[in-house]
């Protein structure tokens, strides 16, 4: 199988130049497993992308937190995939629940964005996940399958896609899906990919977990067979992000 462990840090709308320099120097000094064990990507706000890109250690990569659904032009306030490529930013996060819920990005819109970003040569961290109401109604799998289906309908090559399962009720709330809950959804998602895309894509696509991941809970989550890494929010701004990266050793030693 050999799915390389993936740890993403989503800085969201946080940081000043001073704070960003501090985070980068902490990351640069961190002792972490080698690149053949773990792939590390950090995602600062747009305005700090060039700064982080030039100052970050070469074995860590940089992602944007969003990009526009098509070519640039008269779209005030948007940033196009072409601009990210021009800045040599290799990754982009698309469909984060904050954008789905607050900015009303639909499943179809997210699918279009993923397809366009891939077509421009970007790699994509595509986010999916259910709300608390949806989980309590027992519709978790229906919701995430629908979100994944909207992406699968628009793309044929999954090589440059990492799927991030982020239960909305666990993001920034301190509530974490139990390792068993995370594994269950990741297992079902892989099964969905196997039936609806292909067994090859199901076996090779990394499905990572996001939602209040910390140094305290990451090892137990990392030990789950279908959890291929993390998309970390708040903790990615702190030194404990290094400990979360180190949880990749759990997989290596499994």
Instruction: Choose the catalytic residue: 61, 96, 130, 186.
Output: 96
61 is catalytic: no
Whether 96 is catalytic is: yes
Catalytic residue among 39, 98, 166, 186: 166
Please state, in angstroms and rounded to a whole number, the distance separating the CA atoms of residues 5 and 208: 9
Q: Contact 194/202 with Cβ under 8 angstroms?
A: yes
Q: Residue 49 has which token pair? A: 């992308």
Beta bridge partners of 63: 91
Within 10 A of 70 (CB to CB), how many other CB atoms are there? 15
Alpha helix positions (H), the chain: 17-29, 49-55, 81-86, 97-102, 107-119, 132-136, 140-152, 179-196, 199-204, 218-222, 240-246, 248-252
Q: Both tokens of residue 122?
A: 């970007």
Give me the active site residues, please: 96, 166
């Amino acid at each position: 199988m050999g799915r390389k462990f993936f740890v993403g840090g989503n800085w969201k709308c946080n940081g000043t130049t001073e704070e960003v320099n501090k985070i980068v120097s902490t990351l640069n000094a961190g002792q972490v497993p080698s690149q053949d064990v773990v792939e590390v990507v950090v995602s600062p706000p747009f305005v700090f992308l060039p700064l982080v890109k030039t100052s970050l250690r070469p074995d860590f990569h940089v992602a944007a937190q969003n990009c526009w659904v098509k070519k640039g032009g008269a779209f005030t306030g948007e940033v196009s995939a072409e601009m990210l490529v021009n800045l040599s930013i290799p990754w982009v996060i698309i469909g984060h629940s904050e954008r789905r819920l607050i900015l009303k990005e639909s499943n179809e819109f997210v699918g279009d964005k993923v397809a366009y970003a891939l077509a421009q040569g970007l790699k994509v961290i595509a986010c999916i996940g259910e709300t608390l109401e949806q989980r309590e109604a027992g519709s978790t799998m229906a919701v995430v399958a629908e979100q994944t289906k909207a992406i699968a309908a628009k793309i044929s090559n999954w090589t440059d896609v990492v799927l991030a399962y982020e239960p909305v009720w666990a993001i920034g709330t301190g509530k974490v899906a139990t390792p068993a809950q995370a594994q269950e959804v990741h297992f079902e998602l892989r099964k969905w990919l196997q039936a609806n895309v292909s067994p090859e894509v199901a076996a090779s696509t990394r499905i990572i977990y996001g939602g209040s991941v910390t140094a305290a809970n990451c090892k137990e989550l990392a030990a789950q067979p279908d959890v291929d890494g993390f998309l970390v929010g708040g903790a990615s701004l702190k030194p404990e992000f290094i400990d979360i990266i180190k949880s990749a050793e759990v997989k290596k030693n499994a």
